[in-house]
Amino acid sequence: MNQLYTLLCEKKRDTLKIMKSLYCSYYQAYIQRELCWFVTASLRSYEHVAFDRTLDPVTSLFEFFVPETTEKYFLEVMAYFEAEGLVSDLKKLPNRLENISADQI
């Protein structure tokens, strides 16, 4: 019985590890309105470093879903854009899709 419990715990831990890896890192940032196209096109053209989406068109607030494997490159590019004044207030936040319920879809 104890071996079965241990096996089930291991399987649950492995499943949770896999589920966690399915979600990307999540960032939000404001992009200079006139150059939104440039920032998003740059991220897409560089091997799809991140998936972007406009959260608020009025304030030019964007969200970025960044795979763990490209997060280093994303942060380097965004640091450059911040230094150039194209991006501001870049924040890593909890991925808002991880806790979404079926009725919110």
Which domain CATH number covers 79?
A: 3.30.70
Domain that holds residue 53: 23-94
Query: What is the chain's pLDDT, residue by residue, as a tens digit (105 residues)?
Result: 566 556 555 655 555 444 455 678 999 999 999 998 999 888 888 777 888 999 999 999 999 999 888 899 999 999 999 999 999 999 999 887 776 554 444
- On whether residue 51 sits in a domain, the answer given is yes
- On whether residue 16 sits in a domain, the answer given is no
- On whether residue 2 sits in a domain, the answer given is no
Copy the structure tokens of residue 53.
């989406």
Copy the structure tokens of residue 85.
């004044």
Total domains present in the chain: 1
- On whether residue 1 sits in a domain, the answer given is no
Element (H, E) at 12: helix 2-21
- Identify the pLDDT of residue 8: 59
- Is residue 70 within 8 Å of 49, Cβ to Cβ? yes
Go through 14-24 and write b for each residue having 16 or more CB atoms within 10 A of its CB, e for each that does not.
eeeeeeeeeeb
- On whether residue 3 sits in a domain, the answer given is no
Per the DSSP assignment, residues forming a β-bridge with 31 are: 87
For residue 91, the SS3 value is strand
- Identify the pLDDT of residue 5: 59
